[in-house]
């Protein structure tokens, strides 16, 4: 292999005297950062994000700093316009980046807030190449897939390494080997390994071992052919992870090793688990992290004390997960219920809250597309709580309003998220405040009471396409409210919406008993609502998407409150006091009111 130091130190002229194109971000030091690249073979949907994030957590637990990046093949600049039916939920980062749901998997596993540097699409890569071409950055050279597009991919990986000072960058390439749209990514990481030098890049292939029921045995041919496609691209995997329903047999692993040039001790089984949170322990037990550490020669950077503390904290979480005894059922009332990935972060947030409270949370899907006032009660009658999640557009809106009306009148614990928050305002305005024609201008532009509306400053820039409120924003919490018990005086939440509560109607809504307990510090933007304790045991809404910031070891307070209220409804003998897990950014005893028990008595308002 070419000496990496010579390569980095000698290439300076990129105008025509050399065929190498090697842009390096400022501050990049070759050899400081190692790279783990995860590929998928055979088929998509194998769980590359879960596998890669779990492996990254194992390395992180050893005391190393890790940084993930997801490389997507599609030409969209981001995930903001993708249909949930086709691609699952859009995950929003604190800096406002709209990205793939796998970034949520990484944030939850690594307990990190990621940024735009952790996500790249082919559209972003091509746009950056073309912008550089237009400004003359390529010094008159003809711009090609190789070396310029692949060079930009490598540049993105190295920029992330510089920005995060990571010991290891975990690179997940979306889709499967053989997809046309991923060819430049695979070629780029092949070049990366060539340039960085020996033991700087670890290639991990995630493959699938078939087990047709009619045969009753595991078959490895599809896995062999998938790995062969990777070898044809010039990439020799160093580790192979075999996905399967049950443990992959030694015979099958040896056969895959023979046809892939990978030692049998680095061909591992990765079979199904009852929870994704058991996978880090499965990987550790199999020796995945040890294999990565040895191949990349990272053992000197590991810290036993940090690994011991991290594993102890995770073990305690797993103990609570396994020992949960009580059970509640929460309904998710939306219009994307046919695709569970559309609400992936909500499902995880419910699981985190359930583990924190020592219970199992079951979910039931309630499609609101055809629901009415007459049918909503029957659809949610056996539930212990409901979530009205985010969405856009008119379909299913009236069904959500019907579910909210039933929950408010019956005392059913309820959490409205984003669009659900807006529908809660509309329902309350119609049925409590006497504004029968209340609606959102997103649904009915000429309604008499536009309680949900674009604010004036948004209307001024509507033509520029800049009306979406994205990313993390601070909110100010009203003292003496349920939100104050959750957060203290301030909180930071993530948003993805355009429409707001119209300030003109806030006095009427508050007079009816609705409390706006969280708002933007610099504008009359309402971010959190709740009903007074004498009106409802737990009826809360937020304009934000709190599910995006829930983590296994730090569950999101909105979901903790919902599950706790559901427990009290499901188990009349349940009397455990609720202590919210989060502390405010500026906590003090004076600012945080003592939690008050909320009555189950409901006034029919």
> pLDDT tens across 48-60, in order?
999 999 999 999 9
Q: Say yes or no: 338 and 287 in one domain.
A: no
Residue 592 belongs to some domain of the structure: no
Q: With contact defined as beta carbons under 8 Å apart, do 548 and 345 qualify?
A: yes
Tell me which residue range forms the domain holding 382.
324-570
Would you state the structure tokens that stand for residue 580, as one six-digit string?
């919210």
Residue 84 confidence class, pLDDT cut points 50, 70, 90: confident
Query: Is residue 554 pLDDT above 70, yes or no?
Result: yes
The pLDDT mean for the chain works out to 88
- Among 277, 295, 316, give the residue marking a domain's end: 316
Q: Say yes or no: 258 and 338 in one domain.
A: no
Q: Say yes or no: 446 and 384 in one domain.
A: yes
Query: Is residue 604 pLDDT above 50, yes or no?
Result: no
Residue 26 belongs to some domain of the structure: no
Helices (H) and strands (E) in the chain, counts: 20, 21
The contacts of residue 414 (CB under 8 Å, 6+ apart) are 385, 386, 387, 388, 404, 407, 408, 424, 536, 538, 539, 540, 562
Q: Say yes or no: 414 and 520 in one domain.
A: yes
Helix (H) or strand (E) holding 153: helix 150-164
Q: Say yes or no: 328 and 311 in one domain.
A: no
Upstream peptide bond of 53 is cis (omega within 30 degrees of 0): no
User: What confidence score (pLDDT) does residue 467 get?
Assistant: 64
User: What confidence score (pLDDT) does residue 46 get?
Assistant: 84
Query: Is residue 587 pLDDT above 60, yes or no?
Result: no
- Among 276, 294, 316, give the residue marking a domain's end: 316
Cβ count within 10 A of residue 202: 24
- Among 264, 296, 316, give the residue marking a domain's end: 316
Residue 2 belongs to some domain of the structure: no
Strands, E assignment, 373-488: 385-388, 414-417, 438-440, 449-453, 469-477
Rounding to the nearest 10 degrees, give the CA dihedral for residues 177, 119, 88, 190.
0
Q: With contact defined as beta carbons under 8 Å apart, do 584 and 489 qualify?
A: yes
Residue 602 belongs to some domain of the structure: no
The CATH number of the domain holding residue 428 is 3.40.50.880
Residue 468 confidence class, pLDDT cut points 50, 70, 90: confident
Q: Say yes or no: 253 and 329 in one domain.
A: no
Q: How far is CA 421 from CA 89, 404, 443, 540, in A?
A: 18, 10, 15, 8
CA atoms within 13 A on the CB side of 567: 26
Catalytic residue among 352, 398, 547, 564: 547
Residue 22 belongs to some domain of the structure: no
* Phi and psi torsions of 318, nearest 5°: -65, -35
Nearest to 475 by CA among 401, 536, 534, 557: 557
User: What confidence score (pLDDT) does residue 534 get?
Assistant: 86
CA distance linking residue 418 with residue 500, whole number of Å: 10
Q: Is residue 536 among the annotated active site residues? A: no
Residue 191 belongs to some domain of the structure: yes
Residue 543 confidence class, pLDDT cut points 50, 70, 90: very high
Catalytic residue among 418, 442, 536, 564: 418
Residue 512 belongs to some domain of the structure: yes
The CATH number of the domain holding residue 185 is 3.40.50.300
Total of domains in the chain: 2
Q: With contact defined as beta carbons under 8 Å apart, do 121 and 74 qualify?
A: yes
Q: How far is CA 564 from CA 356, 449, 534, 597, in A?
A: 10, 35, 18, 12
Q: Is residue 418 among the annotated active site residues? A: yes
Q: Say yes or no: 299 and 395 in one domain.
A: no
Query: Is residue 485 pLDDT above 60, yes or no?
Result: yes
Q: Say yes or no: 301 and 349 in one domain.
A: no
Q: Say yes or no: 303 and 329 in one domain.
A: no
Q: Say yes or no: 331 and 303 in one domain.
A: no
Q: With contact defined as beta carbons under 8 Å apart, do 55 and 240 qualify?
A: no
| Total length of the chain | 605
CA distance linking residue 355 with residue 98, whole number of Å: 28
Residue 394 confidence class, pLDDT cut points 50, 70, 90: confident
Query: Is residue 334 pLDDT above 50, yes or no?
Result: yes
Q: Is residue 406 among the annotated active site residues? A: no
Q: Say yes or no: 312 and 330 in one domain.
A: no
Residue 456 confidence class, pLDDT cut points 50, 70, 90: low
CA distance linking residue 197 with residue 207, whole number of Å: 26
Catalytic residue among 87, 148, 473, 545: 545
Residue 28 belongs to some domain of the structure: no
The pLDDT > 70 percentage for the chain reads 90
Q: Say yes or no: 76 and 114 in one domain.
A: yes
Cβ count within 10 A of residue 1: 8
């Amino acid at each position: 292999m070419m000496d990496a130091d010579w390569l980095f130190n000698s290439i300076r002229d990129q105008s025509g005297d050399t065929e190498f194109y090697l842009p390096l971000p400022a501050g990049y030091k070759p050899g400081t950062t190692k790279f783990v690249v995860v590929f998928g073979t055979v088929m998509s949907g194998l769980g590359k994000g879960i596998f890669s994030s779990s492996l990254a957590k194992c390395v992180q637990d050893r005391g190393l700093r890790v940084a993930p990046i997801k490389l997507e093949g599609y030409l969209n600049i981001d995930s903001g316009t993708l249909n949930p039916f086709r691609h699952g939920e859009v995950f929003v980062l604190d800096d406002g980046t709209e990205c793939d749901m796998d970034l949520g998997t990484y944030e939850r596993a690594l307990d990190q807030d990621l940024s735009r540097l952790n996500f790249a699409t082919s559209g972003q890569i091509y746009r950056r190449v073309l912008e550089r071409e237009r400004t003359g950055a390529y010094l008159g050279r003809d711009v090609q897939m190789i070396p310029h597009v692949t060079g930009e991919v490598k540049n993105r990986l190295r920029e992330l390494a510089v920005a995060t000072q990571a010991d290891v960058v975990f690179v997940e390439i979306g889709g499967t080997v053989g997809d046309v749209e991923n060819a430049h990514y695979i070629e780029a990481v092949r070049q990366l390994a060539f340039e960085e030098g020996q033991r700087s890049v670890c290639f991990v292939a995630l493959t699938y071992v078939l087990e047709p029921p009619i045969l009753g045995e595991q078959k490895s041919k599809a896995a062999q052919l998938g790995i062969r496609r990777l070898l044809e691209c010039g990439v020799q995997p160093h580790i192979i992870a075999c996905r399967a329903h049950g443990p992959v047999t030694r015979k099958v692993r040896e056969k895959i090793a023979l046809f892939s040039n990978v030692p049998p001790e680095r061909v591992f089984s990765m079979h199904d688990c009852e929870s994704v949170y058991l996978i880090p322990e499965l990987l550790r037990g199999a020796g995945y992290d040890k294999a990565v550490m040895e191949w990349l020669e990272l053992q000197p950077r590991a810290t036993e004390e940090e690994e011991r503390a991290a594993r102890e904290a995770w073990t305690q979480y797993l103990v609570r997960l396994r020992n949960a005894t009580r059970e509640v059922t929460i309904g998710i009332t939306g219009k994307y219920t046919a695709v569970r990935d559309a609400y992936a972060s909500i499902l995880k947030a419910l699981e985190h809250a359930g583990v924190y409270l020592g219970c199992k949370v079951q979910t039931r899907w309630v499609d609101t597309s055809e629901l009415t006032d007459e049918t909503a009660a029957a659809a949610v009658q056996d539930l212990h709580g409901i979530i009205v999640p985010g969405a856009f557009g008119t379909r299913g809106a009236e069904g959500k309003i019907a579910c909210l009306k039933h929950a408010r009148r019956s005392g059913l614990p309820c959490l409205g998220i984003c669009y659900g928050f807006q529908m809660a305002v509309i329902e309350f305005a119609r049925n409590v405040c006497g504004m029968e024609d209340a609606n959102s201008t997103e649904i009915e532009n000429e309604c008499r009471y536009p309680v949900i509306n674009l604010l004036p400053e948004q209307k001024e820039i509507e033509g520029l396409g800049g009306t979406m409120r994205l990313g993390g924003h601070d909110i100010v919490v009203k003292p003496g409210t349920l939100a104050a018990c959750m957060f203290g005086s301030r909180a930071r939440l993530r948003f993805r919406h355009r429409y707001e509560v119209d300030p003109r109607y806030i006095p009427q809504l508050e007079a009816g008993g609705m409390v706006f307990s969280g708002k933007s510090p610099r504008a009359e933007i309402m971010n959190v609502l709740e009903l007074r304790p004498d009106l409802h045991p737990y009826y809360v809404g937020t304009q934000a998407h709190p599910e995006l910031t829930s983590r296994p070891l730090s569950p999101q307070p909105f979901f903790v409150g919902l599950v706790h209220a559901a427990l009290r409804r499901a188990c009349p003998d349940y009397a455990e006091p609720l202590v919210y897990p989060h502390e405010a950014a500026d906590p003090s005893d004076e600012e945080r009111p003592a939690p008050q028990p909320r009555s189950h008595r409901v006034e029919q308002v």
